Amino acid sequence: MIIKDVRKNKIKTVFIITCCFIFLTLLVYFVSLFLFDSVYIAAAVGLGVAFISAFTSYYNSDKMILSVNKARPATREEFLQLNVSLEALCISAGLPLPKIYVMETPALNAFATGRNPNHAVVCVTTGLLEKLDKYELEGVLAHELSHIKNYDILVSTIAIVMIGFVSIIGDMFTYHMWYGDSSSDNDNKASIILMVIGLVFIILSPIFATLLQLAISRNREYLADANAVEITRNKNGLISALNKLENENTPMQVNSATESLFIINPLKKKKAKDSIWSTHPSTANRIERLQNIQ
């Protein structure tokens, strides 16, 4: 069953990335069409920006995400238990050892990023290391390794960076709308059209980002939980860890664009049940599913 879910997961990943690429291409195309008044130039600019954003996302998204969340390398000398636990779990999961990072915060959380198992990163908070025991930590680390194994990290990190490009273009719309040259009637008409298009995309961009996060996160968290139990052979460790993350967590300062990466939502209050607008499933539902695993 899990193998079938992973296969579906990879198909959805391709679909989501393709939709993101097309959306960004069309956005830049329409902007360029009214700026340059040429279909060919607009198409070239649209495709060029989309390819550049995709290339940047694929090769540098992990560095960007670690930077905005102020993560630093977790050396073996300073974090021996973390390194040893992750090495053992990678052997069990049949994965290469990812880079290991930490965030200096008392909050309990973790995330994985990167483009594939050979270029992956696992990041945990110092609060997580202080408050979880060995088996709870292994449960969280196995969950993040499952995201790597299932290629969740690829779609998540690429989507975050490409959504950032959409936001930048929205800001450019706003700037042109208020400060663009309006010296003639034709320019005024063009400015009005740009204003309308800019407002439409400024409105649609956060909606698109939210829908993308919803498509990425919830089912993938359930699947990663189940895979983590397969790796550790101990569902109680992850169940206990999720309970602590839910009940002992403190507010966490992170970049809002990266919230969907974390094992639990670092920005929002806990909730008793899932919502269609939630980037993460409720912890209660996740624990219930884990308890039903035989």
Burial string for 63-101 (b: 16+ CB within 10 Å, else e) reads ebbbeebebeebeeeebeebbebbeebbeebebeebebb
Question: Which candidate, 270, 216, 214, 219, places its Cα nearest to that of 245?
Answer: 270
Round the CA-based radius of gyration of the chain to a whole number and report it: 21
Residues 121/98, Cβ–Cβ less than 8 Å: yes
Active site residue 144: yes
Selecting among 104, 130, 136, 144, the annotated active-site residue is 144
Residues 6+ away with beta carbon under 8 Å from 274: 218, 281, 282, 285
Q: Tokens 């300062």 map to which residue?
A: 253
Written as six digits, the tokens of 227 are 């895979």
What Cα–Cα distance (Å) separates residue 258 from each residue in 30, 69, 236, 262? Answer: 28, 8, 28, 8
Written as six digits, the tokens of 243 are 């309970």
Question: Which candidate, 162, 209, 181, 168, places its Cα nearest to that of 34?
Answer: 181
Tell me the catalytic residues: 144
